[in-house]
Amino acid sequence: MNRIKVMVNGIPGNMAVSVAQHILDDNRFDLVPSALTGPEIVETEFSLGTTVVRLIPQEKREVQIATIMEKEGKFISVDYTHPSAVNENAAFFCRHGLPFVMGTTGGDRNLLEETVRASSIPAVIAPNMAKQIVGFQAMMAYAANTFPNLFQGYSLEIKESHQKGKADTSGTAKAMASYFNQLGIPFSEKDIIKERRPETQKTEWGIPEKYLQGHGWHTYRLKSPDETVSFEFTHNVNGREIYAKGTLDAVMFLDKKVAEGTEGSVFTMIDVLKDI
């Protein structure tokens, strides 16, 4: 089997570095030793073991991408950059006919999809790359659509814990809250209990110290009106491993779509999941 070449953009960001390392460690892939990077980055290269990745600032990318495409031939781009760069980067990939996996959240999501649809390339757009969590969300969406009001009368508690730096409420917890609304439970986003204090995370939640700076723990508790029935769903992620693995699956999937000659199509993580 030919190795799939992958350009991972967003280095030296944590998520991009993690994916690039996985690409290097996995013999299904080859890493393109160049990466688009943001205006705030002063480094011009980044070392991953013995591999040196050249960092391409915005003003140089039009010229350098031509050289890279000439040298590397076909490759898939992965984007873990910054919300402010989402639309611009997508336009760049589309303009150059570069199929991409967009792991960056934010930006104008409708415009993002339109850009791909008007282009000659397929893309996977996946604000959450954790396959199993996306699968669980799909289960919840299915229940919400198929059995509205299934949990009518039940009470709900949602708790989530993330690293201290994360200011906003977990997007997954918010999505879940809306499924539970459809299932008959009045519940507002602001009822979600957010934990950001490392000490409490360690002592009360039992989150391992080494993951205090990178984790996403979620618990949903349902109780029947008379409290004789309870349900509890928990999904806890430590570190970034699950997202990096999901990214590789998305790359594999997209490579197949490119080989099939798919053009101008937007795929989601659900499509990747169905193809596992």
Active-site choice (74, 96, 159, 166): 166
Radius of gyration of the chain (CA): 20
Please choose, out of 24-32, 84-92, 94-102, 236-244, the segment that lies near a copy of itself by the rule CB under 8 A.
236-244
Verify binding: residue 213, a copy of itself, rule CB under 8 A: no
Distance CA 246, CA 243 (A): 5
Asked if 138 contacts 126 with a C-beta cutoff of 8 angstroms, the reply is: no
* Partners of 7 in beta bridges: 77
Q: Which of 69, 143, 252, 266 binds a copy of itself (CB under 8 A)?
A: 143
Verify binding: residue 209, a copy of itself, rule CB under 8 A: no
Distance CA 124, CA 78 (A): 9
Residues 123-142 that bind a copy of itself (CB under 8 A): 130-132, 135-136, 138-140, 142
**82 noted as active-site residue:** no
Nearest alpha carbon to residue 239 among 220, 219, 212: 212
Determine the Cα angle at 129 with ends 85 and 95, to 5°: 40
Nearer to a copy of itself, 110 or 146 (CB): 146
**162 noted as active-site residue:** yes
DSSP conformation class of 166 = -
Verify binding: residue 155, a copy of itself, rule CB under 8 A: no
Name the residues annotated as catalytic. Answer: 162, 166
Q: Which residues bind a copy of itself (CB under 8 A)?
A: 130-132, 135-136, 138-140, 142-143, 146-152, 154, 211, 222, 224, 226, 228-239, 241-242, 273-274, 276
